[in-house]
Amino acid sequence: MITLDARNLTVTAGGRAVLDDVSVTVAQGEMVGLVGPNGAGKSTLVKAILGYHHLRAGQIHCAGRDMMRSAARDRARLIAYVPQAPPEGFPVSVFQTVLMGRTPHMGTRPARRDLAVTEWAIAQLQLDNLAFRSMDALSGGERQRVMLARALAQETPLLVLDEPTSALDIGHQLFALRFLSDLAATGRIGVLVAIHDLSMAARFSTRTVLMQQGRVLAEGAGGAALTPATVRAAYGVDAMVTELNGVPVVLPLAAT
């Protein structure tokens, strides 16, 4: 069982702690939803785990290795990353973009196995018909599926996503989150996903971590961390937390 273990992370920017003694773990088979208001430190935590930030304090271990001392390539074989939206760049095909997920496994050019894994990842995200389209001819939802396929092709035990559904319509949101939770349910991949929609977080996460002002405010199995009290404390919003047809719903009512 491979576990990502980020312990007591503190990151400062301009003398202010943007992450203040935050600990989070993700094991294979888990889908951890990371929620919290804007500026709570979700993105900072995700990027700290990926090694972008200088840690004022804390350690990140994964598969028994100290991630802060590991080579970028070794980390890339353990943790894959999906950004909120792919940046505008020079357009290439969907296949080529997904193939880039193989970068930590290959030399200067892809081997046959890299092509085969790429093909498999494209099939998983139902992108076969788009494989040789240019990325700039795709819709936002399709592009995000390509990002997921690339992360899948990376064949890592852990997947970290920074608000991957924020720019998507509800159909693509459901598709992406259902896909991620099924992936975790195979028991071979652990998912840490920063997410804005509290209902979606409660519905798809095996565990939810609620952050506020650089700290963990509440944590619990499923959506248990999301109660009217914690939502009010984090967002300053009165909310109703309920279930409709067995689906968890967090309904914001009024700002306090």
Burial letters 171-207, b for 16+ CB under 10 A, else e: ebbebbbebbbebbeeeebbbbbbbebbbbbbbbbbb
Q: What strands lie across the sheet with 57-62, from one edge to the other?
A: 16-27, 3-13, 57-62, 65-66
| Least spacing, CB of residue 104 vs other proteins, in Å | 4
CB of 242 to other proteins, least distance (A): 25
Which residues of this protein are in contact with other proteins, per CB under 8 A? 47, 50-52, 71-77, 79-81, 83, 86-87, 89-93, 95-97, 99-101, 103-104, 106, 108-109, 112-113, 115-120, 122, 124-126, 128, 131-135, 137, 141-142, 145, 154-155, 171-172, 174-175, 178-179, 182-183, 185-186, 188-189
**List of residues 6+ apart from 248 with CB closer than 8 A:** 199, 202, 203, 222, 223, 241, 242
Is 115 or 247 the residue whose CB approaches other proteins more closely? 115
In whole angstroms, the minimum distance from the beta carbon of 35 to other proteins comes to 21
Q: 60 or 131: whose CB is closer to other proteins?
A: 131
**Closest approach of other proteins to the CB of residue 21, in Å:** 25
What is the SS3 assignment for 217? strand
Residue 36: left (phi > 0), alpha (psi -120 to 50), or beta? Answer: left
Least distance from other proteins to the Cβ atom of residue 58, Å: 19
Cβ distance to other proteins smaller for residue 150 or 235:
150
Residue placing its CB nearer to other proteins in the complex, 96 or 227: 96
Question: Which residue lies nearer to other proteins by CB, 50 or 239?
Answer: 50
Q: Phi/psi class of residue 205: alpha, beta or left (left: φ > 0; alpha: ψ in -120 to 50)?
A: beta
